[in-house]
Chain A
Amino acid sequence: MKLLTHNLLSSHVRGVGPRGFPLRLQATEVRINPVEFNPDFVARMIPKVEWAALLEAADTVPKGPIEGYEHDEKFLRQMHHVLLEVDVLEGTLQCPESGRLFPISRGIPNMLLSDEETET
């Protein structure tokens, strides 16, 4: 699971609503996966990122998008690495409100909940 994905995921446990974001990430196995750098794509993603959630999930992240980031290659490469190259293979995502755990195995999060657990 990439950190970009973690930044877009939220818990849908019943009654939790917007407090289900962000999910608390516990990674037990992480792999760094080289991905071809595409500055245009990274620049497109910057406005979509919830920065506080990203800071919680990753260690070395710039504090926020800097002025003129679209043309700042150093900044974009840093963001590229954090968002797309860090791959969580095993771990859990935890709903911050209910504590419910969603497992990640083989790099794939399992977000399934039963009827009782989810919002109507």
Chain B
Amino acid sequence: MALSCTLNRYLLLMAQEHLEFRLPEIKSLLSLFGGQFISSQETYGKSPFWILSIPSEDIARNLMKRTVCAKSIFELWGHGKSPEELYNSLKNYPVEKMVPFLHSDSTYKIKIHTFNKTLTQEEKVKRIDALEFLPFEGKVNLKKPQHIFSVLEDYGLDPNCIPENPHNIYFGRWIADGQRELIESYSVKKRHFIGNTSMDAGLSFIMANHGKVKENDIVFDPFVGTGGLLIASAHFGAYVYGTDIDYNTVHGLGKASRKNQKWRGPDENIRANLRQYGLEKYYLDVLVSDASKPSWRKGTYFDAIITDPPYGIRESTRRTGSQKEIPKGMEKCPESHVPVSLSYHLSDMFFDLLNFAAETLVLGGRLVYWLPVYTPEYTEEMVPWHPCLKLISNCEQKLSSHTSRRLITMEKVKKFENRDQYSHLLSDHFLPYQGHNSFREKYFSGVTKRIAKEEKSSQE
């Protein structure tokens, strides 16, 4: 059978949430399934309509089984800036590609979707009628059709300025929906065991996708907390490990984070969280451990490291300290009998994390982590760097007027040799991040200044 060299074009309808995170998610997933991101435009900015070329429908379906950023995917049959352009475009679409879905034994229905405008039923019917020139031979079935065709009309993004006519109109055969329902079914609101900084479900799935997690992988979170990030990876079939320096959190003891709850119940721990979603078989182990002093033997056995390190604001950044260091009032962890130091410079922590990832990831494995940033001073050069790891993406999420966090994704591209541990000291890249060590102070400085200002103006 002769295969045409032209790739099929698909229309992705994207969700309008976590805008910067969408493109890296789609790119990572396409590469996971043997495809590549090919589109006529490099970026789509804020638009929810993306046109991509994908080698096969299988890859498109696999993409939709993972993405939480895309709502639906359609095989694109035509598009234009006006109805006439759309109809011309449809007339140019090869009939032999249409026919398998239009033949007389099949059933179908046509849906009209409009974005940023509402149409009356009458207007919708008019548009469906206008498509009569297409060689539909099957029967219409509104309840359970075999094939669903969609007209999508784009009226822009400004609800205060809705144009008379759409900017773009697309026509395609619906193929599949994405996994956005996971956001609701894995919502933190319903989870048994949560902490102060449990990750929003949508973002945890995005992180697993940026990490190219796949079935039978081993995924590790060195700052596991209540295990939220592990849940997303387990959902995609990976086996999971976690460590945390906090004995109580790992064991599920102590005060609960949920409002109105005093102490954690016996069923609150990471294993129980996985059990809640039927994912217990993916639980390998959790350990009480200091991420800066890891206990793993030499070797590469993690396929992905996905983590949200502490920023020192709602959870403190800590590492185990020395007996000599303990001034009055320093925290001691009774169960472990090891003094826990409260000052762990952020830049050291990220350096340790990158080095650990470079050493224990398999080649091609990914590190996905959040980097807290004081926005007025941020520059790209500040993103921590390592000779074995290649930067894949850097996506910002604003936290407050002057702080944000960035989701950094890196891929191991070079085998780790011991000397890499020290090369960072020679690099200028290490120095800029020093500024972030006072992230905690800067974060609170904005807050205290504003409170002072408000108090002053209320007194005037």
The residue on B at minimum CB distance from A36 is: B281
Q: Give the chain B neighbours of A105 by CB distance below 8 A.
A: 251
Q: Given A18, A111, A119, which contacts B298 in the complex, CB threshold below 8 Å?
A: A18
Among B243, B287, B301, B320, the residue within 8 A (CB) of A48 is B301
A114 touches B250 (CB 8 A): no
Given contacts A113-B320, A115-B325, A116-B322, contact A108 B287 (CB under 8 A): yes
Binds B, one of A7-15, A24-32, A61-69, A70-78: A7-15
B323 within 8 A of A: yes
Count of residues in B whose CB is under 8 Å from the partner chain: 36
- Bound-state CA distance A31–B35 (Å) is 44
A35 to B239, CA, bound (A): 12
Interface of chain B, helix or strand or loop or mixed?
A: mixed
Are A8 and B297 within 8 A (Cβ)? yes
A60→B175 CA distance, assembly (Å): 51
With both chains docked as a complex, state the minimum distance between the C-beta of B187 and any C-beta of chain A, in angstroms.
26
Q: Of all chain B residues, which has the CB nearest A106? A: B251
Residues of B within 8 A of A2 (CB): 284-285
Which residues from 247 to 261 on chain B have a C-beta closer than 8 Å to any C-beta of chain A?
247, 250-251
Select the stretch in B10-18, B45-53, B124-132, B335-343 that faces chain A.
B335-343
| Size of A's binding interface in residues, CB under 8 A | 36
Contact B285 A118 (CB under 8 A): no
Q: Is residue A1 contacting chain B, with contact meaning CB distance below 8 A?
A: yes
Return chain B residues, CB-CB under 8 Å to A109. Answer: 285, 287-288
Residues of A within 8 A of B239 (CB): 41
CA distance A4 to B299 in the complex (A): 14
The 0/1 profile, CB within 8 Å of B marked 1, for residues 14-48 of chain A is 00001011100000000000011010110010001
Chain B residues with Cβ under 8 A from A38's Cβ?
Answer: 216, 281
A2 CA to B251 CA, complexed, in Å:
16
Q: Given A106-B251, A115-B320, A116-B322, A10–B296 Cβ distance below 8 Å?
A: yes
> Could you tell me the distance between the alpha carbons of A48 and B388 in the complex, rounded to whole angstroms?
21
Q: Is B250 touching A112 in the complex (CB atoms < 8 A)?
A: no
Asked whether A110 is an interface residue with its Cβ less than 8 Å from the other chain, the reply is: yes
B285 touches A5 (CB 8 A): yes
A-B contact count (CB 8 A): 94
8 Å CB contact of A40 from B216, B294, B296: B216
Contact of B295 with A by CB under 8 A: yes
B245 at the A interface (CB under 8 A): yes
The answer to whether B295 and A9 touch across the interface, beta carbons within 8 angstroms, is yes
What separation, in Å, do the CA atoms of A109 and B281 have in the docked complex? 19
Taken together as a complex, chains A and B put the C-alpha atoms of A119 and B341 apart, in Å, by: 17
Give Cα A44 to B216, complex, Å.
8
Q: Are B288 and A114 in contact (CB under 8 A)?
A: no
Instruction: Give the distance to chain B from A5, nearest Cβ to Cβ, in Å.
Output: 4
A35-B281, A36-B281 are known contacts. Are A112 and B288 too (CB-CB below 8 A)?
yes
A108 engages B286 (CB within 8 Å): yes
Residues of A with C-beta under 8 A to B339 = 114
Q: How far is B322's CA from A107's CA once the two chains are assembled, in angstroms?
A: 27
The CB with the most chain A CB atoms within 10 A, among B286, B287, B325, B338, is that of B287
Which are the 9 A-B pairs with shortest beta-carbon distances?
A: A115-B322, A10-B297, A111-B295, A111-B289, A110-B288, A5-B285, A41-B216, A36-B281, A112-B338
- What are 7 A-B pairs at a CB distance below 8 A? A2-B285, A10-B295, A18-B297, A36-B281, A110-B336, A111-B295, A115-B341
Interface residues of chain A, those whose CB is within 8 Å of chain B, are: 1-2, 4-5, 8-12, 18, 20-22, 35-36, 38, 40-41, 44, 48, 50, 84, 105-116, 118-119
Instruction: Given contacts A2-B285, A110-B289, list 16 more A-B pairs with CB under 8 A.
Output: A5-B241, A9-B297, A12-B294, A18-B298, A38-B281, A41-B239, A50-B297, A105-B251, A111-B295, A112-B288, A113-B293, A114-B321, A114-B338, A115-B325, A118-B320, A119-B293
